[in-house]
Amino acid sequence: MRTTRMTLLFLVLFSLGAMAQKGGENETGPYDLVQNWPQPVCGAGYQSGSTGGVWAETPDTVFVLQRGCLPAIPTPTGIVPSRNASQYSLAAEDPTRHPRWDNILVVYNREGRAVEKWEQHNKLFVRPHRVVMNPYDAERHVWVIDDGAHSIYKFTRDQKLVMTLGEFRKPASDKTHFGRPTDIAWLPDGTFFVSDGYENTRVVKFDKDGKYLLEWGKAGKSAPFEFDTVHGIAIDNQRRVYIADRANHRVQIFDENGKYLDQWTDLRYPYYIYMTRDQHLWVGDGFTNKILKYDLNGKLLYNWGTFGAFPGGIWGPHQFSVDSDNNFYIADVHNGRIQKFRPKPGADPATLVGQRFEVPRR
């Protein structure tokens, strides 16, 4: 009886709150923006450059990968600024588009304070793309994919470089090189897949030690196995491999050995794909700037997100991550910022981006 009364009281209070709400456009969906997170790291007169990667290991350990520091511009209140931050990196041919090259890989705590800066490795990076961790790795290695360097770096948690795949600034399409790689996904035995990438049009599979196993894909616009900008990768509980075929406006699906299974078309520009424990694929779309929820048959179930440079708006959802408190972090690549969102009180759990899925061990 007491539980029933408490439930009724909660529903009444929630209804009153909803009735009091007037106006609004639900710009941030089921989340509230955490204001002034993180604290600036670039110093007076500068702001973060293009922000390609974010990985929330815990609520107190959030890795952010950005492309240096750019001269500050006025904070917009509604429209997108004239500067597209993603056009600035050491890969830019125009030297005036080379940022100040520091604060590339920074770790923040829950208050948004920088607790680690991996400055000793800045020389390795040219156009850092994503930061990821193998969920099955007890040693918690940190991996950085840099498409401008055509390289993938594996670091220990205490910042030591222990593996490099690819060759610095030397693209190729063979067993030991990449052509602007973009993302990684793992199986429980340490086998991993690389989406490769902007220049190459393939998926490459490696063993746990980084030994080449196989690959699939070719350049093209519409047929199975054809890719144009291989920009993200995720794996479901049947070990199916989902590939963001960005410039072809679709997601292609394969088995773990590269057998074609299916495709989802009519996506605008899938920048990032993310598999949740409850077996839904969330897509960050770089054209509509929405966060989209699909079931594994490709049915759209829910979406949120609004284009803009104002706080809470999105211009290029390049990578996102969810911590154990269900806070949502997004690397806003064109605006050049990281944003943190917390679930609104009473938000429907089905509308929240869930915890990242880990493939069951066999």
How many domains are there within the chain? Answer: 2
pLDDT, residue 360, reads 64
Same domain, 106 and 163: no
Does residue 63 fall inside a structural domain?
Answer: yes
Same domain, 88 and 152: no
pLDDT, residue 254, reads 98
**Res. 13: pLDDT tops 60:** no
Does residue 301 fall inside a structural domain?
Answer: no
Same domain, 178 and 237: yes
Above pLDDT 70, what percent of the chain? 92
Does residue 280 fall inside a structural domain?
Answer: no
Same domain, 154 and 233: yes
Same domain, 203 and 141: yes
pLDDT tens digits for 230-269? 999 999 999 999 999 999 999 999 999 999 999 999 999 9
Domain CATH number, residue 195: 2.120.10.30
Same domain, 166 and 100: no
**Residue 4 pLDDT class (50, 70, 90 cuts):** low
Instruction: Burial-class residue 208 by CB neighbours within 10 Å (0-12, 13-18, 19+).
Output: middle
Same domain, 32 and 88: yes
**Res. 17: pLDDT tops 60:** no
C-alpha–C-alpha distance, residues 119 and 89, integer Å? 16
**Res. 291: pLDDT tops 70:** yes
**Residue 5 pLDDT class (50, 70, 90 cuts):** low
- Taking residues 50-59, report their average pLDDT: 97
Global confidence as pTM: 0.92
What average pLDDT is seen over the chain? 93
pLDDT, residue 250, reads 98
Of 205, 234, 266, the one marking the end of a domain is: 266
238 C-beta neighbours (distance < 10 Å), count: 11
pLDDT, residue 75, reads 73
Which residues constitute the domain of residue 342? 26-117+306-352
For 167-323, list the strands marked E by DSSP. 181-186, 192-196, 202-206, 212-216, 218-219, 226-227, 230-235, 241-245, 250-254, 260-264, 270-275, 281-285, 291-294, 300-304, 317-322
**Res. 215: pLDDT tops 90:** yes
pLDDT, residue 61, reads 97
Does residue 76 fall inside a structural domain?
Answer: yes
Does residue 162 fall inside a structural domain?
Answer: yes
C-alpha distances out from residue 164 to 47, 57, 59, 150, 211, Å: 30, 22, 28, 10, 12
**Res. 342: pLDDT tops 70:** yes
C-alpha distances out from residue 23 to 27, 76, 306, 311, Å: 12, 22, 16, 18
3-state helix, strand, coil split of the chain in percent (to 5) is 10, 40, 50
C-alpha–C-alpha distance, residues 305 and 27, integer Å? 6
For 46-89, list the strands marked E by DSSP. 46-48, 51-58, 61-66, 69-71
